[in-house]
Amino acid sequence: MPYRADGGAIDAPVRVLLVTSRESKRWVIPKGNQASGHSPHAAAALEAEEEAGVRGAICPTALGSYRYRKKRRNGASLMIDVDVFPLAVSSELGMWKEQGQRERRWFTLADAADAVDEPDLSDLIRSFNQAEFRSAARRTGFLQTVAGTSKVSHMFAWFQRLLPKTGNFFELFEAHAATVVAAADAMARLLQDGNADHIREVVEREDDADNITREMLRTVRETFLTPFDRGAISSLIGSLDDAIDEMHATVMAIDLYEVKDFDQEMKDMAAIIIDAARLVAEAMPLLRDVGRNGGRLHELTERLIRMEAHADEIHAIGVKHAFKAHGSGDTLRFIVSREVYKHLERIVDAFEAVANEIDGIVIDHA
């Protein structure tokens, strides 16, 4: 993170240099992969020179780190961890390696934090001097503000426990469904080109989904008022999580057995899984008003159940084709193919379970 002070005073305002990314043209800090033979901070300084045309003293201790999702050319979208090293700029080059590919601009800390897309990076930028750090650290809501100004902070925890809580159930359902869609897309790309990046993305998405599920279950325990029966909420998020867990199991089996070529029936089942995931993602926001959206929710669950039946047919055809092609001459390949088919079928079965849970909510509340 290249920075400079506006003046010589110890409390002089600090500015940060951002550059545009080459493809999306969004504002980012200079960054890249660690070059072979370079320490992390030295590699960061090299990236700053190549991308932003600046040199200076770089601190070997990272200010912190942030994560962002990077789109690869093969279609994979992978989570990248970035360590951020402060670089005190001493000189700006008139010409540099990526001058024609990027724009560079100095920002105040506040403006730089607003300009970047990644929330964690925004927090790091805001925390770069004391005043901004205090501002970022004081994230108090309305009730905390009232408690502080009215001098009842020592009683506030007790008071807060008496307040009804409604939780953010719908946001969590929608976030989980979006994660399931992303995992389904990555798995389908894996069955198209066999690139291991897609395996890694499914694993990351499954981890994200687990975090959402844990947050949902914690919210169920702590919430006074819930939009549906607590058991229905837990069952629905559990069935959603089962779907992405089965995707994870599928790509792990593909990785374990080093499968590179996939039958057309496998690709067809993956296409059904993508469509099922998107139907579920459409259904989640409709749960905010089940009474008004009951008809559409029922249409979506009917489609999910029909798709599961169709996937069963494709599964049977695919296993039969694999048996005829490899059953006698390459038994091991047939066993591996049957294993992949089994996992794909379980994913679709999990989506049928999601449909059944949604139907139960509609019956109870529509």
Which pLDDT score, from 0 to 100, does residue 8 have? 57
Distance CA(346)–CA(355), nearest Å, equals 14
Q: Would you kindly state where each structural domain of the chain is located, as residue ranges? A: 2-134, 168-364
pLDDT band at 6 (very low <50, low <70, confident <90, very high): confident
Closest by CA position to 17, among listed 94, 106, 92, 124: 106
* Pick from 22-31, 57-66, 95-104, 179-188: least confident: 57-66
The tens digit of pLDDT for each residue in 224-267 reads: 888 989 999 999 999 999 999 999 999 999 999 999 999 999 99
Contacts of 119 (CB under 8 A, 6+ apart): none
Regarding the domain delimited by 2-134, which CATH topology (the fold level of the hierarchy) does it fall under? Nucleoside Triphosphate Pyrophosphohydrolase (3.90.79)
Helices 264-286 & 331-365, crossing angle to 10 degrees? 20
Query: Helix, strand or coil for residue 47?
Result: helix
Q: Are 241 and 210 in contact (CB under 8 A)?
A: yes
Distance CA(354)–CA(316), nearest Å, equals 23
pLDDT band at 129 (very low <50, low <70, confident <90, very high): low
pLDDT at 160 over 70: no
Average pLDDT over residues 67-82: 87
The identity of residue 135, as a single letter, is S
Which pLDDT score, from 0 to 100, does residue 136 have? 39
Q: For the domain 168-364, what is the CATH code?
A: 1.20.58.220
pTM of full prediction above 0.85? no
Which pLDDT score, from 0 to 100, does residue 38 have? 87
